[in-house]
């Protein structure tokens, strides 16, 4: 019996095949990592680049020299003192905060309803939501713009918050998968005690759903924080004091008067914009991974 259960020793050819496969996998991962990291490192290096050529031009230096010969914080100082970047940053922060508050609540509410409540059109709604989720949001941007224009809501930060929050409920599938693994006995016990669905959701479901709440909040925050298309169309080009960082940095580099020598300031802005997102993901990485993996158990 012991002889039957013993594993047969691997032959030299099998070991060689496994070793080759492992080495190939590592080489592929290294190449992909270099390709992925190359532009990120390039942006960071240019954010701190301060050298110029004899004509004061930057373009030739950026193209010919990957690593800067002189570094400093001049680009960050100029970005905050010579542009409207502080205003753009605050606009983006306000829009992202309000959007993630509304979007998180709407997404989790819809997910709870679709997971724990049974009603006649439930399955049809799930199918419709799945189909609509296959289409990118910018396909509806023209219709959204004219609807906002009809109610006189264009060129305002409130319009951006409304647009980002309105359709967030359709992204409930991952949160629904998380709620599906919560025992129904908890909900039934609460109902026997006279609790309403809203009380169950607020006092029972949310306190035990920290991973999916953090995951949903992160996704709801990063979307408005990095969005360019909706912000550009809704806010317009003339009201620079209403621009978000994505629109403002684009306008600074590719606006009416193109100045490629501002690229290092643009790179500095990219680094500053990335700092909050990176900090949030690093500090909440544990809960983010738990929310993703738990939400993918059941659909």
pLDDT of residue 97: 92
Residue 116, pLDDT above cutoff 70: yes
| % the chain with pLDDT above 70 | 85
- Rounded CA-CA distance 269/125 in Å is 42
Residue 289, pLDDT above cutoff 80: no
pLDDT of residue 63: 54
Residue 125, pLDDT above cutoff 80: yes
Q: What band does 297 get if pLDDT is binned at 50, 70 and 90?
A: very low
Residue matched to tokens 């409540």: 117
Residues 15, 18, 23, CA angle at the centre, nearest 5°?
Answer: 125
Residue 128, pLDDT above cutoff 60: yes
Mean pLDDT of 275-283: 85
Choice among 55-59, 88-92, 122-126, 192-196 with the minimum mean pLDDT = 55-59
Mean pLDDT of 156-162: 89
The more confidently predicted of residues 244 and 55 is: 244
Q: Give helix then strand counts, H and E, for the chain.
A: 16, 0
Write the DSSP string, 159-190: HHHHHHHHTGGG--HHHHHHHHTS-HHHHHHH
- Rounded CA-CA distance 241/88 in Å is 7
Q: What band does 94 get if pLDDT is binned at 50, 70 and 90?
A: very high
Q: What band does 255 get if pLDDT is binned at 50, 70 and 90?
A: low
* Phi, psi (rounded to 5 degrees) for 204: -115, -50
The more confidently predicted of residues 259 and 116 is: 116
Q: What is the DSSP code (8-state) at residue 241?
A: G
* Phi, psi (rounded to 5 degrees) for 239: -85, 80
pLDDT of residue 213: 87
* Phi, psi (rounded to 5 degrees) for 179: -65, -25
Token pair belonging to 30: 């290294």
Residue 55, pLDDT above cutoff 70: no
| Spatial contact of 206 and 186, defined as CB atoms under 8 Å apart | no
pLDDT of residue 98: 93
Report the Cα–Cα distance between both ends of the chain, in Å, rounded: 43
Mean pLDDT of 141-163: 86
| Spatial contact of 91 and 157, defined as CB atoms under 8 Å apart | yes
Q: Which of 275, 273, 293, 295 is nearest to 283 (CA)?
A: 275
Q: Which domains does the chain have, with CATH numbers?
A: 80-295 (1.10.3720.10)
pLDDT of residue 4: 47
137 class by beta-carbon count within 10 Å (0-12 exposed, 13-18 middle, 19+ buried):
middle
Residue 44, pLDDT above cutoff 70: yes
Residue 60, pLDDT above cutoff 80: no
Report which listed range, 118-122, 150-154, 267-271, is most confident. 267-271
Residue 161, pLDDT above cutoff 60: yes
- Backbone region of residue 142 per phi and psi (left: phi > 0; alpha: psi in -120 to 50; beta: other values): alpha
Number of Cβ within a 10 Å radius of residue 32: 10
pLDDT of residue 240: 79
Go through 138-153 and write b for each residue having 16 or more CB atoms within 10 A of its CB, e for each that does not: eeebeebbeebeeeee
> Long-range pairs for 65-74 at CB < 8 Å and ≥24 separation?
66/42, 72/48, 73/48, 74/50
| Spatial contact of 84 and 255, defined as CB atoms under 8 Å apart | no
pLDDT of residue 204: 85
Token pair belonging to 129: 């939501």
The more confidently predicted of residues 276 and 170 is: 276
Helix 85-116 / helix 245-254 crossing angle, nearest 10 deg: 140
Average pLDDT of the residues of the chain = 81
* Phi, psi (rounded to 5 degrees) for 29: -65, -40
Mean pLDDT of 209-232: 87
Q: What band does 290 get if pLDDT is binned at 50, 70 and 90?
A: low
């Amino acid at each position: 019996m012991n002889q039957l259960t013993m594993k047969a020793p691997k032959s030299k050819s099998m070991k060689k095949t496994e070793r080759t496969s492992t080495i190939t996998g590592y080489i592929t991962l290294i190449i992909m990592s270099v390709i992925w990291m190359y532009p990120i490192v390039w942006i960071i290096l240019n954010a701190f680049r301060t050298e110029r050529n004899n004509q004061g031009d930057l373009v030739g230096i950026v193209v010919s020299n990957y690593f800067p010969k002189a570094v400093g914080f001049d680009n960050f100082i100029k970005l905050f003192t010579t542009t409207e970047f502080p205003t753009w940053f605050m606009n983006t922060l306000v829009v992202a905060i309000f959007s993630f508050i509304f979007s998180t609540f709407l997404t989790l509410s819809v997910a709870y309803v679709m997971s724990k409540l049974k009603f006649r059109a439930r399955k049809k709604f799930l199918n419709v939501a799945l189909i609509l989720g296959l289409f990118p949001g910018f396909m509806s941007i023209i219709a959204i713009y004219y609807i906002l224009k009809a109610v006189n809501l264009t060129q305002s930060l409130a319009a951006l918050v409304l647009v980002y929050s309105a359709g967030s409920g359709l992204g409930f599938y991952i949160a629904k998968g998380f709620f599906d693994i919560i025992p129904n006995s908890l909900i039934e016990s609460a109902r026997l005690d006279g609790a309403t669905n809203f009380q169950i959701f607020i006092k029972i479901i949310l306190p035990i759903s920290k991973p999916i709440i953090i995951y949903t909040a992160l996704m709801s925050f990063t979307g408005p924080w990095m969005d360019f298309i909706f912000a550009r169309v809704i806010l317009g080009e003339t009201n620079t004091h209403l621009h978000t960082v994505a629109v403002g940095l684009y306008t600074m580099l590719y606006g009416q008067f193109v100045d490629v020598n501002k690229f290092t300031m643009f790179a500095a802005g990219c680094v500053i914009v990335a700092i909050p997102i990176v900090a949030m993901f690093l500090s909440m990485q544990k809960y983010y991974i738990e929310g993703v993996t738990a939400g993918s158990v059941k659909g």
